Amino acid sequence: MTIRVLSIIGTRPEAIKMAPVIKALAASPAVEGVVCATGQHRQMLDQVLEIFAIRPDHDLDVMQVGHTLNSLASRIFEKIDGLYTKLAPDVVLVHGDTTTAMAAALAAFHKGIAVGHVEAGLRTYDMQRPFPEELNRRAIDLVAKHLYAPTESSRRNLLQEHLVSDRILVTGNTVIDALLQTVERIHGDAALRVRLDKSFEFIDRSRRLLLVTGHRRESFGGGFERICDALARLGQRGDLEIVYPVHLNPNVDTVVRERLGGAKNIHLIAPVDYLSFMYLLDRAEAILTDSGGVQEEAAALGKRVVIMREVTERPEGVEAGLAELVGTDPDLICTAVERALAGAHAQAKLRQIGRTLYGDGQAAMRILGDLAGEAGQRAVKDLAS
Ligand SMILES: CC(=O)N[C@@H]1[C@@H](OP(=O)(O)OP(=O)(O)OC[C@H]2O[C@@H](n3ccc(=O)[nH]c3=O)[C@H](O)[C@@H]2O)O[C@H](CO)[C@@H](O)[C@@H]1O
């Protein structure tokens, strides 16, 4: 008796974090895994799917330039309703906190289809930070039957909300599954490493590498202007190479390129594929970001992270002394980056602390086991042997 599990992905981070789950489901005889891409992201999503050799079975193609959260959500609701009727999945799996995940989960709830939430329980309890992700993930947890919490702290968040479902399973974050698989692939492939070295030969190896990413809505406008001021100042240091793959969202790309194009020691590049980003993360001495996944990945690699946010739903890294919350004030960003670089030498110790902070690389297997019940447990054993 197999169960049909429909995995929904819309953005780059969802694809990265769902890839290990999609692969585990596909390899299990106990599950019929089906994949639907919504098209919330296009180019950045396709880069990930190619690396993990995942071809979605369905694509809602909802992407429209300049769409609003409401036009995006309404297009997803409209199109996914028909897909649910056609496929009649036993479970719809969504990830994290995007509009894709929220709309897909609520649409499943409307049709009485069980929802599994991967990365359940992340909270800041601030509806404006991150916006709209805090609303999205809390709405999903209200309707989800299977709550896959990445850490104990996310499990505690769920327990105090007295949700309908009591099926909470601490799995670890699937981003660590993806990271470990990818770093292993890079370390095991000399030709790939040569290609990656060549792709990034513009980075002066005599200088220290600071890797930057940023895309939070709540920083649009003044926030990104302040971030650019901080980066321009850091670029003046002379001992740093700053590499910043600039998110494609026009609210980020336009401001950053206007203010930093041609700035000293700052390389503004297009978003790089996931393999390349893991390569850069592995090479970097410190990370400056507002990303959720990058906080988790950096910790796992023992990298110190400066978080350009006011709040984070990843308290573990801050409590472990690996990450520091600084918001978008240029002075605070610059001094925190100095501290991160000063502490970067203790990489072995930091890696020991951060290695399993967010998971052990087995999250996808735990989710498979839970979803397919006994049959899944048997399949998980077969898969793991
Ligand atoms: C509020 C919040 O934190 N929400 C998060 C948000 O995800 P995020 O903040 O992590 O989003 P990004 O920063 O866009 O993606 C990051 C990924 O992209 C890779 N990367 C990066 C730059 C590049 O040039 N090439 C790449 O390949 C990188 O390795 C990493 O894995 O939504 C997710 C979905 O629901 C949630 O899981 C997650 O809570």
Shortest-distance atom of ligand 1 to CA 271: 24
Distance CA 324, CA 337 (A): 9
Q: Which residues contact 216 (CB under 8 A, 6 or more apart)?
A: 130, 223, 290, 308, 309
Q: How many CA atoms lie within 13 A of 157 on its CB side?
A: 24
Q: Where does the pLDDT of residue 249 fall: very low under 50, low under 70, confident under 90, or very high at 90 and above? A: confident
Query: How far, in whole angstroms, is CA 325 from its chain's centroid?
Result: 18
Residue 93: φ, ψ to 5°: -100, 125
Residue 365: φ, ψ to 5°: -65, -35
Distance CA 340, CA 359 (A): 23
How many Å from the N-terminal Cα to the C-terminal Cα in the chain?
Answer: 22
Active site (catalytic) residues: 97, 119, 133, 215, 217, 247
Cα 222 to ligand 1 centre (Å): 22
Q: Which two tokens stand for residue 38?
A: 């919504």
Positive or negative: CA dihedral 182, 186, 189, 192: positive
Query: How far, in whole angstroms, is CA 295 from its chain's centroid?
Result: 9
Cα 56 to ligand 1 centre (Å): 20
Q: Is 305 helix (H, G, I), strand (E, B) or coil?
A: strand
> For a pocket test of ligand 1, which of 131, 151, 219, 294 has the largest count of ligand atoms closer than 8 A to its C-beta?
294
Shortest-distance atom of ligand 1 to CA 216: 9
Shortest-distance atom of ligand 1 to CA 122: 39
Is the shortest distance between the CB of 99 and ligand 1 below 6 Å? Answer: no
Q: What's the confidence (pLDDT) of residue 81?
A: 98
Cα 377 to ligand 1 centre (Å): 30
pLDDT in tens, 341-376: 998 777 788 888 899 999 999 999 999 999 988 444
Cα 30 to ligand 1 centre (Å): 30
Q: What's the confidence (pLDDT) of residue 378?
A: 43
Q: What's the confidence (pLDDT) of residue 380?
A: 57
In this prediction, residues 122-144 reach a mean pLDDT of 97
Distance CA 113, CA 93 (A): 10
Angle at 354 between CA 167 and CA 368, to 5 degrees: 30
Is the shortest distance between the CB of 133 and ligand 1 below 6 Å? Answer: yes
Domain 202-354 has CATH 3.30.30.60: no
Give 48-56's long-range contacts (Cβ < 8 A, gap of 24+): 48/12, 48/15, 48/16, 48/19, 48/273, 48/274, 49/15, 50/273, 51/182, 51/273, 51/274, 51/275, 52/15, 52/19, 52/22, 52/23, 52/178, 54/15, 54/19, 54/22, 54/23, 56/9
Q: Which two tokens stand for residue 339?
A: 């501290």
pLDDT in tens, 16-42: 999 999 999 999 999 999 999 999 888
Prediction pTM value = 0.93
Shortest-distance atom of ligand 1 to CA 101: 35
User: Is the fold of 3-172+362-384 the same as that of 202-354?
Assistant: yes
Q: Is 116 helix (H, G, I), strand (E, B) or coil?
A: strand
The mean pLDDT value of the chain amounts to 93
In this prediction, residues 287-292 reach a mean pLDDT of 96
Cα 379 to ligand 1 centre (Å): 30
Indicate the residue type of 70.
Answer: N
Angle at 164 between CA 162 and CA 170, to 5 degrees: 75
Q: Which two tokens stand for residue 186?
A: 């890079």
Pair 372, 3: CB distance under 8 Å: yes
Q: What's the confidence (pLDDT) of residue 176?
A: 97
Helices (H), ranges, 204-329: 222-235, 250-260, 274-283, 292-300, 315-319
Residue extents of the structural domains in the chain: 3-172+362-384, 202-354
Q: Is 309 helix (H, G, I), strand (E, B) or coil?
A: coil
Is the shortest distance between the CB of 358 and ligand 1 below 6 Å? Answer: no
Q: Which residue has the tokens 């700052």?
A: 266
CATH class entry, domain 3-172+362-384: alpha beta
